[in-house]
C-alpha cells in the first residue's frame, strides 16, 4: 500500500510539473494559427504548389465558414444564456452540495458535465465551466481539497462524449437523405453509428476513466476557486438594481406575454421543419430549440437580453478564430495537401491499423479545423474510400474519425480559450491537465473502434 501511495504521489508531482511547464510554452490561439499557417504553406510548397496556387487556396478558404461561424456563435451564446437561467443554476448548486469527499465531487461533476454534453454539445460547453465553479466553491466551503484548474480540465474532458451523443455532427449528416456521400455509402442510420455497441461502450469506458483518473490524480497542492475571483464571482447571486420601468415599452419588456408569442412562432418553425418538411435534426433545428428553451426559462425579453449581453464575451474566439482556421482549411482543401495525407493513411492501413491511423489523421485535421462538420466535409470522402479499400465499414471509419476530431479539440488551444472565456481565467492554467485526458480519450477510442462491433 505504501508503494502504491508513493507511485500515485509521484505521478501527481509529474502531472503538476507537466502542467506548469506547458503553461510556459503554449502560445495563445491566434499565435498558434499563425504558426500553423507557416507550416502548411511550407508543406504546400514542398508538394510542388506555386505561390499563386497557395495564395488562391488561402483566399478561397478565409471566409468560407461565415455561415457556420454564425451558427457556432449562436450555439455558444444561447447555450451560455440558457445555462445562466435560475433553473440551471439552482440545479447545479444543489447537486454541488451533495458530495462530501473529493472523489464524490469529481465523480458527480463529471457525470453532470458528460450528461449535458451527450444531450447537446453546446449545453455541455456552456455548463461545464459553471459546474466546475459551483462544485469547487462547495468543496472549499466544506474544506474538501479540490484544485479548481484541475477540476475545470476534468469536466471539460468529460464533454468529449458529445462526439457520440445526440448532437454528433457527422453521424447526423450521414443519417440525412441527400448528404454528399449518399452515392458512396447510402443513408447510414444512427443505430450503426452513435447507438452502435462500440460507441456506447466508448462513452461508458471514457466517462468511467475520467472519473477514476480525475480522482486519483488530483494535485497535492490545491488552488481553491477563491484564488480566481472572476471565476468565483460567477457563482454569486446577480445583484441587479434596476430602476422601475418608466415607460409602457419598458414595462412590456419585463412581462412574459410577448415572449409566449415568440415561443409559439419558434414552435411553429420546429413543427414545420420536422413534420411538414420531414427534415432531420440539424444545426439550425438545434439552435431553434436552444432559442426556444432560453426564452421559456428567462420568461421575458429583459432577462434574456441581459444574459446574452454577458454571454457574447465568451464567444469572441469563435467569431474571430474560425476565420483564421478557415484560411488553413482552404490550404488543406484546395491544394493536394489533404488528399496526400489521407491517401498515405489508406495506403499503409489494414483492418487492424485503420482505426488508429484514421484517428491520427483526423487529429491533424482537427488541429487545423475546429469544426466537426467542416472536417467531415473535407476528410469524409477519403475516410470512406480508404475504409472500403481496406475492408472495414464506413461507419467504423466515421467513428474512428470522431476520436481524432475531438483529440484535436483536446490538444489545440481553440476550445480551451472558449471555456476560459466563459469562466474568466487564462486557458493555460488548465490546458496542461487537459492533455492527459486527451491521451486517455485517444487510447480508449482506438482500442474500442478497432475491436468492438459497429
pLDDT in tens, the chain (454 residues): 444 455 545 555 665 666 566 556 666 667 878 888 998 899 999 999 999 999 999 999 898 878 878 887 888 888 888 877 888 888 999 999 999 999 999 999 999 999 999 988 878 888 899 999 999 999 999 999 999 999 999 999 999 999 999 888 788 778 877 766 788 888 888 889 999 999 999 999 999 999 999 999 898 889 999 999 999 988 876 554 556 555 666 666 667 778 899 999 999 999 999 999 887 776 788 789 989 999 998 888 888 888 888 888 777 777 887 788 788 878 887 888 877 766 776 678 889 999 999 999 888 877 766 667 666 766 777 788 788 888 899 999 999 999 999 998 898 877 888 888 888 898 888 988 998 999 999 999 999 999 999 8
**pTM as predicted:** 0.78
Alpha carbon distance 401, 407 (integer Å): 10
Can you give the pLDDT at residue 409? 87
Closest alpha carbon to 333 in 26, 40, 29: 40
Reading the block at residue 437, the C-alpha cell is: 485526458
Can you give the pLDDT at residue 446? 97
Can you give the pLDDT at residue 248? 60
CA 188 to chain centre: 24
Can you give the pLDDT at residue 3? 45
Can you give the pLDDT at residue 318? 77
Q: Show the 3-state SS of the chain.
A: CHHHHHHHHHHHHHHHHHHHHHHHHCCCHHHHHHHHHHHHHHHHHHCCCCHHHHHHHHHHHHCCCHHHHHHHHHHHHHHHHHHCCHHHHHHHHHHHCCCCCHHHHHHHHHHHHHHHHHHCHHHHHHHHHHHHHHHHHHHHHHCCCCCHHHHHHHHHHHHHHHHHCCCCHHHHHHCCCCCCCHHHHCCCCHHHCCCCHHHHHHHHHHHHHHHHHHHHCCCCCCCCHHHCHHHHHHHCCCCCCCCCCCCHHHHHHCCCHHHHHHHHHHHHHHHHHHHHCCCCCCHHHHHHHHHHHHHHHHCCHHHHHHHHHHHHHHHHHHHHHHHHHHHHHHHHHCCCHHHHHHHHHHHCCCCCCHHHHHHHHHHHHHHHCCCHHHHHHHHHHHHHHHHHHHCCCHHHHHHHHHHHHHHHHHHCHHHHHHHHHHHCCCCHHHHHHHHHHHHHHHHHHHHHHHHCCC
Cα-trace Rg, the chain = 23
Amino acid at each position: 500500500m505504501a508503494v502504491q501511495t508513493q507511485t500515485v504521489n509521484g505521478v501527481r508531482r509529474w502531472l503538476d510539473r507537466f502542467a506548469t511547464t506547458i503553461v510556459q510554452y503554449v502560445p495563445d490561439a491566434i499565435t498558434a494559427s499563425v504558426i500553423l499557417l507557416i507550416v502548411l504553406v511550407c508543406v504546400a510548397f514542398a508538394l510542388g504548389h506555386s505561390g499563386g496556387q497557395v495564395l488562391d487556396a488561402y483566399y478561397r478558404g478565409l471566409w468560407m465558414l461565415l455561415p457556420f461561424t454564425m451558427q457556432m456563435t449562436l450555439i455558444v451564446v444561447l447555450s451560455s444564456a440558457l445555462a445562466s437561467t435560475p433553473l440551471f443554476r439552482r440545479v447545479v448548486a444543489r447537486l454541488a452540495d451533495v458530495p462530501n469527499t473529493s472523489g464524490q465531487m469529481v465523480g458527480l461533476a463529471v457525470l453532470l458535465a458528460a450528461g449535458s454534453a451527450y444531450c447537446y454539445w453546446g449545453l455541455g460547453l456552456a455548463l461545464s465551466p459553471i459546474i466546475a465553479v459551483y462544485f469547487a466553491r462547495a468543496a472549499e466551503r466544506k474544506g474538501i481539497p479540490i484544485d479548481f484548474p484541475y477540476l475545470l480540465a476534468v469536466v471539460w474532458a468529460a464533454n468529449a462524449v458529445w462526439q457520440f451523443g445526440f448532437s454528433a455532427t457527422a453521424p447526423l449528416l450521414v443519417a440525412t437523405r441527400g448528404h454528399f456521400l449518399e452515392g458512396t455509402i447510402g443513408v447510414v442510420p444512427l443505430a450503426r453509428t452513435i447507438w452502435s455497441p462500440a460507441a456506447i461502450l466508448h462513452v461508458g469506458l471514457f466517462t468511467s476513466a475520467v472519473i477514476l483518473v480525475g480522482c486519483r490524480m488530483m494535485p497535492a497542492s490545491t488552488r481553491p476557486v477563491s484564488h480566481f475571483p472572476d471565476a468565483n464571482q460567477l457563482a454569486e447571486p446577480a445583484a441587479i438594481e434596476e430602476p422601475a420601468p418608466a415607460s409602457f415599452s419598458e414595462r412590456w419588456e419585463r412581462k412574459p406575454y410577448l415572449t409566449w408569442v415568440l415561443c409559439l412562432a419558434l414552435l411553429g418553425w420546429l413543427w414545420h421543419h420536422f413534420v411538414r418538411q420531414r427534415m432531420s435534426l440539424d444545426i439550425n433545428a438545434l439552435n431553434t430549440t436552444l432559442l426556444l428553451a432560453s426564452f421559456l426559462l428567462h420568461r421575458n425579453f429583459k432577462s434574456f437580453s441581459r444574459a446574452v449581453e454577458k454571454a457574447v464575451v465568451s464567444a469572441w474566439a469563435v467569431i474571430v478564430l474560425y476565420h483564421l482556421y478557415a484560411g488553413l482549411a482552404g490550404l488543406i482543401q484546395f491544394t493536394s495537401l489533404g488528399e496526400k495525407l489521407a491517401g498515405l493513411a489508406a495506403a499503409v492501413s489494414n483492418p487492424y491499423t485503420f482505426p488508429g491511423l484514421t484517428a491520427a489523421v483526423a487529429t491533424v485535421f482537427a488541429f487545423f479545423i475546429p469544426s466537426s462538420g467542416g472536417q467531415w466535409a473535407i476528410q469524409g470522402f477519403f475516410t470512406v474510400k480508404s475504409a472500403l479499400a481496406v475492408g472495414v465499414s464506413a461507419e467504423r471509419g466515421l467513428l474512428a474519425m470522431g476520436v481524432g476530431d475531438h483529440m484535436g479539440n483536446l490538444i489545440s488551444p481553440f476550445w480551451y480559450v472558449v471555456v476560459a472565456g466563459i469562466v474568466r481565467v487564462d486557458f493555460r492554467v488548465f490546458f496542461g491537465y487537459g492533455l492527459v485526458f486527451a491521451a486517455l480519450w485517444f487510447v480508449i477510442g482506438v482500442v474500442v473502434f478497432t475491436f468492438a462491433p459497429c
